């Protein structure tokens, strides 16, 4: 039995822990609801009353289990946290207001002024901006390296580096770093590996199998699955030893919470102080969404594979970037880590920006919007939208060209998706 860390600081064992992954998606952490309700109740309350002053003091001091205030913990959110922790093979989770809130909270739990981050150069635009533009103003600097170049990762770490941050499949670069190999490098350097697994989800590989120390998801994407809520989660795999000269600020948390030092410092300090908590209604929507994650990921991946092959054969398409294609430079690593599934996101190139715009204006089924992981097929021109604030050099690092279209392949019938793309391409 695995201990799970709860919002009030206690550990509990979960009787659902023995189930298979697909069963955990539905039952993990779910307690019977009032009147036999089978979905997690939406506890839409900001605060939680206790009968006596003594009880409230006990809860605040961590002597008794209970809720006090939704910014710190909420029963609906706690049920989601428990399930997501189980899915990754983790020991604890903190659900947050968004994926960016999860990344900010996790990183700020670890670093302090004067520290450095070693990050992948092909990050999601919001994360790139957080590291390069925001955190640099608070004395935290970031070195960006190509995460598929293991020597660059090794050489990028110095005495001040306090964490390594990578994405399982870079969004939108579609590069696939060898995470277990990077985990060994981070381990040898005595620093934790944080992995943003939004694009792959635990269906393609669990964080515990990849060797990550902390896994982060934007749950707004595949975990929600229908584009109905924004959310994020930080999952503590419990593998990293926080008792280290590099992390003196973890000392009091390690003393009291041992292997749970990271979650304790995050929950009791950074998450509480930054206040980017999950809303109970969103936690409910995310708990509903995650139930069908396996089924949806199978279809997302199968459809993306077929669409990638169709695009590759189309004479208007200059190139296709999808790790599922055998001639992708990332195919072998992706196959090793993720088996026969390569995710639901791909990019392709047309003649130029004008052609990319004509294509996006020409599709009827696919929606033109800034999201991934929706059941619906989505297209976007990253250079003019999600990456519009970056210059040519940064766009190059992120693998974003003017001619590029990003597709989040939905779970519609593949013949309808292909017909939609074919007709828009033929009318360019
Ligand atoms: C969307 C996304 C994020 C940010 O998540 P939000 O929920 O939009 O804040 C972070 N990382 C990746 C890989 C994403 O796709």
pLDDT tens per residue across span 235-272:
999 999 999 999 999 999 999 999 999 999 999 999 99
pLDDT for 234 beyond 90: yes
Summarize pLDDT for 278-311 with one digit per residue, the tens: 999 999 999 999 999 999 999 999 999 999 999 9
Q: How many A from CA of 69 to the centre of ligand 1?
A: 26
- pLDDT of 7 > 60? The answer is no
Q: What pLDDT does residue 399 have? A: 86
Separation CA 337–CA 342 (nearest Å): 10
The whole-chain average pLDDT of the chain stands at 94
What is the fold, at CATH topology level, of the domain defined by 294-426?
A: 3.90.1150
- Distance from the CA of 127 to the center of ligand 1, in angstroms? 8
Sheet of 214-218, strand order: 11-13, 3-5, 92-96, 232-236, 214-218, 193-196, 161-167, 116-120, 141-145
Residue 412 has pLDDT above 50, yes or no: yes
At residue 13, the pLDDT reads 59
The pLDDT assigned to 6 comes to 53
Q: Which CATH class is domain 21-290?
A: alpha beta
Pocket test for ligand 1, best of 100, 173, 177 (most atoms within 8 A of CB): 100
> Pick from 211, 215, 218, 222: which is nearest to 185 by CA?
211
221 CA to centre of ligand 1 in angstroms: 8
pLDDT, tens digit (0-9, with 9 covering 90-100), for 120-146:
999 999 999 999 999 999 999 999 999
Q: If pLDDT is split at 50, 70 and 90, which confidence band does 3 have?
A: very low
Provide the pLDDT for residue 15.
Answer: 67
pTM (predicted TM-score): 0.96
* Cα(124) to centroid(ligand 1), Å: 7
Which of 124, 345, 346 maximizes ligand 1 atoms within 8 Å of its Cβ, making it the mutation to test the pocket? Answer: 124
For residue 101, the ligand 1 atom closest to its alpha carbon is: 9
Percent of the chain beyond pLDDT 90?
Answer: 88
109 pLDDT more than 60: yes
Q: Whose CA is nearest to atom 1 of ligand 1?
A: 218
Tokens encoding 287: 């708990």
Report d(CA 68, CA 74) in Å as an integer.
8
**Which residue's CA is the nearest one to ligand 1's atom 8?**
99
Instruction: pLDDT band for 162, please (50, 70, 90 cuts).
Output: very high
For 374-403, how does the pLDDT look when each residue is reduced to its tens digit (9 = 90+)?
999 999 999 999 998 888 888 888 889 999
SS (H, E, C) the chain: CCEEECCCCCEEECHHHHCCHHHHHHHCCCCCCHHHCCCCCCCCCCECCCCCHHHHHHHHCCCCCCCCECCCCCHHHHHHHHHHHHHHCCCEEEEECCHHHHHHHHHHHHCCCCCEEEEECCCCHHHHHHHHHHHHHHCCEEEEECCCCHHHHHHHCCCCEEEEEEECCCCCCCCCCCHHHHHHHHHHHCCCEEEECCCCHHHHCCHHHHCCCEEEEECCCCCCCCCCCCCEEEEECCCCCCCCCCCHHHHHHHHHHHHHHHHHHHHHHHHHHHCCECCHHHHHHHHHHHCCHHHHHHHHHHHHHHHHHHHHHCCCCCEEECCCCCCCCCHHHHHHHHCCCCCCEEEEECCCHHHHHHHHHHCCCCEECCCCCCCCCEEECHHHCCCCCCCHHHHHHCCCCCCEEEEECCCCCHHHHHHHHHHHHHCC
State the pLDDT at residue 194: 98
What digits encode the pLDDT tens for the residues 363-375? 999 999 999 999 9
Ligand 1 environment, Cβ below 6 A: 98-100, 124, 126-127, 167, 171, 196, 198-199, 218, 220-221, 230, 232, 372
In the structure encoding, which two tokens stand for residue 335, read together? 């196959």
Which atom of ligand 1 is nearest the CA belonging to 123? Answer: 13
pLDDT at res. 44: 97
CA of residue 406 to ligand 1 center, whole Å = 15
CB atoms within 10 A of CB 312: 14
| Confidence check: pLDDT of 16 > 80 | no
Quick check: do 21-290 and 294-426 share a fold? no
How far apart (Å, rounded) are the C-alpha atoms in residues 122 and 259?
31
CA of residue 220 to ligand 1 center, whole Å:
7
- The residue whose CA is least distant from atom 7 of ligand 1 is 99
Q: Is 427 left (phi over 0), alpha (psi -120 to 50) or beta?
A: alpha
Give the whole-angstrom CA distance, residue 332 versus residue 418: 26
Per domain, the residue ranges of the chain are: 21-290, 294-426
Tell me, in angstroms, the distance from the centre of ligand 1 to residue 242's CA: 27
Q: How high is the pLDDT of residue 395?
A: 87
326 alpha carbon – ligand 1 mean position (Å): 27
In ligand 1, which atom is closest to the CA atom of 371?
1
Query: What is the reported pLDDT for 2?
Result: 39
* pLDDT reading at 77 higher than 70: yes
**Which residue among 96, 122, 126 is best mutated to probe the pocket of ligand 1, counting the most ligand atoms within 8 A of its Cβ?**
126
Q: What angle do CA 409, 411, 413 make, to 5 degrees?
A: 105
Closest C-alpha residue for ligand 1 atom 4: 99
Q: Whose CA is nearest to atom 2 of ligand 1?
A: 218
pLDDT at 216 over 90: yes
Give the tokens for residue 376: 């619906």
Q: What is the mean pLDDT of residues 330-340?
A: 97
CA angle 340, 346, 350 (to 5 degrees): 140
Do 168 and 196 form a contact (C-beta atoms < 8 A)? Answer: yes
pLDDT of residue 8: 45
Q: Phi first, then psi: what are they for 60, rounded to 5°? A: -60, -40
Q: Atom of ligand 1 at shortest distance to CA of 219?
A: 7
Q: What is the CA(35)–ligand 1 centre distance, in A? A: 37
Distance 218 CA to ligand 1 centre (A): 5
Residue bearing the CA closest to ligand 1, atom 6? 99
Average pLDDT over residues 219-228: 97
Give 336 Cα–ligand 1 centroid separation in angstroms.
25
Q: How far is Cα 278 from Cα 71, in angstroms, rounded to an integer?
A: 8
Which band of pLDDT confidence, cut at 50, 70 and 90, is reported for residue 336? very high
Residue 53 predicted with pLDDT over 90 = yes
Which atom of ligand 1 sits closest to the CA of residue 167?
Answer: 13
**Tell me, what's the pLDDT at 1?**
29
């Amino acid at each position: 039995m695995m201990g799970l860390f709860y919002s009030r600081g206690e550990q509990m064992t979960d009787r659902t822990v023995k189930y298979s992954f697909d069963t955990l998606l539905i039952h993990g952490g779910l307690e019977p609801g009032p009147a036999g309700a089978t979905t997690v109740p939406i506890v839409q309350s900001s605060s939680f009353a206790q009968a006596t002053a003594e009880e409230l003091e006990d809860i605040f001091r961590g002597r008794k289990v209970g809720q006090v205030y939704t910014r710190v913990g909420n029963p609906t959110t706690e049920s989601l946290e428990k399930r997501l922790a189980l899915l990754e093979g983790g020991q604890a989770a903190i659900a947050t207001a968004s994926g960016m809130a999860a990344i900010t909270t996790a990183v700020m739990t670890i670093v302090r002024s004067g520290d450095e981050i070693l990050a992948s150069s092909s990050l999601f635009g919001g994360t790139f901006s957080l590291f390069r533009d925001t955190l640099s103003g608070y004395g935290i600097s970031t070195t960006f390296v190509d995460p598929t170049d293991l020597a660059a990762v090794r050489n990028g770490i110095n005495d001040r580096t306090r964490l390594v941050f990578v994405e399982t499949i870079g969004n939108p670069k579609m590069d696939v770093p060898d995470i277990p190999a990077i985990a060994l490098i981070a381990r040898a350097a005595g620093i934790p590996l944080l992995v943003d697994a939004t694009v792959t989800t635990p269906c393609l590989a669990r964080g515990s199998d990849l060797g990550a120390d902390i896994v982060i998801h934007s749950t707004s994407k595949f975990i929600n699955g229908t584009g109905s809520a924004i959310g994020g989660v930080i999952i503590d795999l419990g593998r990293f030893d926080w008792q280290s000269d590099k992390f003196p600020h973890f000392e009091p948390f390690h003393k009291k919470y041992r292997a749970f030092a990271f979650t304790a410092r995050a929950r009791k300090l950074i998450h509480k102080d930054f206040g980017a908590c999950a809303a109970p209604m969103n936690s409910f929507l995310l708990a509903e969404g995650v139930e069908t994650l396996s089924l949806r990921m199978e279809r997302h991946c199968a459809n993306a594979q077929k669409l990638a092959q169709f695009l590759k054969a189309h004479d208007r398409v200059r190139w296709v970037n999808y790790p599922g294609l055998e001639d992708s430079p990332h195919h072998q690593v992706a196959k090793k880590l993720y088996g026969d599934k390569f995710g639901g996101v791909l990019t392709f190139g047309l003649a130029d920006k004008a052609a990319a715009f004509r294509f996006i204006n020409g599709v009827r089924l696919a929606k033109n919007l800034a999201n991934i992981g929706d059941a619906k097929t989505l297209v976007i021109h990253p250079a003019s939208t999600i990456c519009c604030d970056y210059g040519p050099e940064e766009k190059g690092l992120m693998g974003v060209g003017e001619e590029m279209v990003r597709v989040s392949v939905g779970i519609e019938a593949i013949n309808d998706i292909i017909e939609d793309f074919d007709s828009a391409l033929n009318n360019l």
